[in-house]
């Protein structure tokens, strides 16, 4: 009787083990799509191993699409046109895609599994994006909640970017944070100093990355980032310029001004910086110093909530009413805006009312 029971148990174990083995092998085979070709922009072929998502697959080949959530499908940044090879649009993609994008075969790279030969279209600038390792060289407290952090690239490394572009900083696990996240920050230093970058980062309540930067990063730490990204950069024209920024939106404008200070310009430029109170102002002297560098430049800080303690004698309220005096020819004026979506919307509306062409209003929205 006992022998019979043992035999049955052994038989069941054997069957169970066999089934488990079959499942493991099946999973391996089913998830292995072998070598797959990704044709990029109709001219470049990339041989990859299928089975991973498009974002990761391209990243493994040093092609970095923007992504702020690390491929979790929550940021919608990794859009690219997939002409063929992708399955139907997933429910996880739809909230991020407009009707126009859906009609144009735009997809979220992090949600598409590479299973078969695939054709994609991505901007040529993407090929300039690289992953960099850097060392924290300097941390400056600009305000109570804004820091400037300088990252020195590795020995012999340089980064080629346009003033106004951004990078994606990758956090390391810290405290109770077990996973890495990536967040976008504008470069605030000049492209001429290409062996380093500076970022200006404001502490966001409950922000995983900004808390890491503000409370954990220290000089000498090693970090990684990818970049450069973005189409917010100085256009090479002779038009007058209005800059409008608030908070950490000062970063790309600082980069543009430092760049122009090095290459020289005769363009008429006015820079409006909106802040709530005097304690939210920073780099004020440095910005005013540009008035001595350029022939036609004015820095105009404007406080919306100046307090008696601020002893503020400058401009107050919204920035928009002050544009009038700064615009001499609206059809020959470009605007560069960086700040919250509300600010961008209000300023854009005002600039159009002053006669600026919408296609000459460039912005980097926090949204």
Partner 1 sequence: MRIKSTTTVLDDNMKTTPTEDKIRARMAPGVLTLNGFLGDDKRSINEIIADDEYTLNQLGISAEELAERMEFFQSKSFDSFDGSITIEGVFDVETEVVRGYLPCPFMHSGIYRKSFTIVTNKATGKSVRYSALNIHLIKAHHFFEGKNSHFRLEPTELVNTLWNK
Window 96-155: residues binding partner 1 (CB under 8 A): 96
DSSP E strands: which ranges in 171-293?
A: 182-186, 196-202, 222-229, 240-246, 269-275
Report how far residue 179's alpha carbon sits from residue 278's, in angstroms, rounded to the nearest whole number.
37
51 vs 76, beta carbon nearer partner 1: 76
Q: Which of 37, 152, 304, 348: binder of partner 1 (CB under 8 A)?
A: 304
Window 196-225: residues binding partner 1 (CB under 8 A): 202, 204-208, 211
Sign of the CA dihedral 185, 230, 198, 178?
A: positive
What is the total count of residues that contact partner 1 (CB under 8 A)? Answer: 43
Residue 74 within binding range of partner 1, rule CB under 8 A: yes
Residue 51 within binding range of partner 1, rule CB under 8 A: no
Report how far residue 128's alpha carbon sits from residue 101's, in angstroms, rounded to the nearest whole number.
24
260 vs 361, beta carbon nearer partner 1: 361
Contact indicator for 225, 357 with CB cutoff of 8 Å: no
Window 214-273: residues binding partner 1 (CB under 8 A): 246, 248
Residue 345: CB atoms within 10 Å: 14
Q: Which of 27, 92, 133, 158: binder of partner 1 (CB under 8 A)?
A: 92
Q: At what angle do helices 284-293 and 250-263 cross, to 10 degrees?
A: 30
Spell out, one character per residue from 2 to 41, where the chain touches partner 1: x when CB under 8 A holds, - when not.
Answer: ----------------------------------------
**Candidate ranges 25-33, 70-78, 119-127, 261-269; the one touching partner 1 (CB under 8 A):** 70-78
212 vs 297, beta carbon nearer partner 1: 212
Residue 163 within binding range of partner 1, rule CB under 8 A: no
**Candidate ranges 33-41, 64-72, 259-267, 286-294; the one touching partner 1 (CB under 8 A):** 64-72
CB-count burial class (<10 Å; 0-12, 13-18, 19+) for 40: buried
178 vs 218, beta carbon nearer partner 1: 178
Work out how close the CB of 348 gets to partner 1 at its nearest, in angstroms, rounded to a whole number: 11
Work out how close the CB of 13 gets to partner 1 at its nearest, in angstroms, rounded to a whole number: 28
Q: How much is the CA Rg of the chain, to the nearest whole Å?
A: 26
Report how far residue 23's alpha carbon sits from residue 29's, in angstroms, rounded to the nearest whole number.
10
Work out how close the CB of 349 gets to partner 1 at its nearest, in angstroms, rounded to a whole number: 9
In a 13 Å sphere around the CA of 154, the CA atoms on its Cβ side amount to 7
CB-count burial class (<10 Å; 0-12, 13-18, 19+) for 267: middle
Window 331-360: residues binding partner 1 (CB under 8 A): 339-343, 345-346
Q: Which of 36, 75, 106, 149: binder of partner 1 (CB under 8 A)?
A: 75
Go through 84-100 and write b for each residue having 16 or more CB atoms within 10 A of its CB, e for each that does not.
Answer: ebbeebeeebeebbeee
CB-count burial class (<10 Å; 0-12, 13-18, 19+) for 161: buried
Smallest Cα–Cα separation from 151: which of 57, 62, 227, 94? 227
Point out which residues bind partner 1 (CB under 8 A): 68-69, 72-76, 91-92, 94-96, 175-179, 183-184, 202, 204-208, 211, 246, 248, 274-276, 304-305, 318, 339-343, 345-346, 366-367
């Amino acid at each position: 009787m006992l022998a019979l029971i043992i035999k049955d148990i052994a038989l069941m174990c054997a069957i169970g083990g066999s089934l488990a083995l079959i499942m493991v092998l099946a999973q391996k085979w089913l998830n292995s799509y072998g070598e797959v070709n990704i044709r990029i922009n109709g001219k470049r072929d990339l041989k990859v191993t299928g089975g991973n998502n498009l974002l990761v697959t391209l990243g493994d080949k040093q092609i970095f699409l923007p992504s702020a959530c690390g491929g979790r499908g929550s940021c919608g940044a990794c859009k690219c046109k997939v002409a063929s090879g992708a399955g139907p649009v997933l429910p996880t993609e739809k909230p991020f895609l407009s009707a126009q994008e859906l009609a144009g075969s735009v997809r979220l790279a992090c949600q598409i599994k590479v299973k078969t030969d695939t054709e994609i279209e991505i901007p040529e600038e993407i090929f300039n994006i690289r992953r960099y390792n850097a060392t924290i060289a300097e941390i400056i407290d600009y305000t109570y909640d804004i820091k400037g952090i300088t990252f020195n690239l590795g020995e012999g490394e340089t980064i080629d970017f346009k003033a106004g572009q951004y990078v994606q900083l990758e956090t390391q696990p810290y405290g109770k944070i077990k996973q890495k996240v990536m967040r976008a920050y504008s470069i605030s230093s000049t492209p001429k100093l290409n062996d380093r970058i500076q970022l200006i980062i404001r502490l966001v309540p409950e922000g995983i990355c900004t808390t890491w930067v503000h409370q954990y990063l220290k000089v000498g730490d090693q970090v990684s980032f990818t970049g450069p990204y973005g189409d917010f950069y100085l256009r090479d024209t002779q038009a007058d310029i209005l800059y409008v920024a608030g908070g950490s939106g000062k970063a790309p404008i600082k980069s543009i001004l430092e760049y122009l200070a090095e290459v020289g310009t005769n363009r008429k430029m006015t820079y409006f910086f909106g802040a709530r109170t005097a304690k939210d102002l920073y780099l004020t002297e440095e910005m005013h110093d540009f008035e001595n560098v350029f022939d036609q430049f004015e820095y105009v800080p404007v406080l919306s909530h100046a307090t008696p303690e601020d002893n503020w004698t400058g401009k107050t309220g919204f920035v928009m009413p002050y544009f009038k005096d700064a615009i001499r020819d609206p059809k020959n004026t470009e605007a560069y805006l960086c700040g919250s979506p509300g600010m961008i919307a209000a300023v854009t509306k005002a600039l159009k009312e002053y006669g600026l062409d919408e296609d000459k209003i460039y912005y980097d929205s926090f949204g």
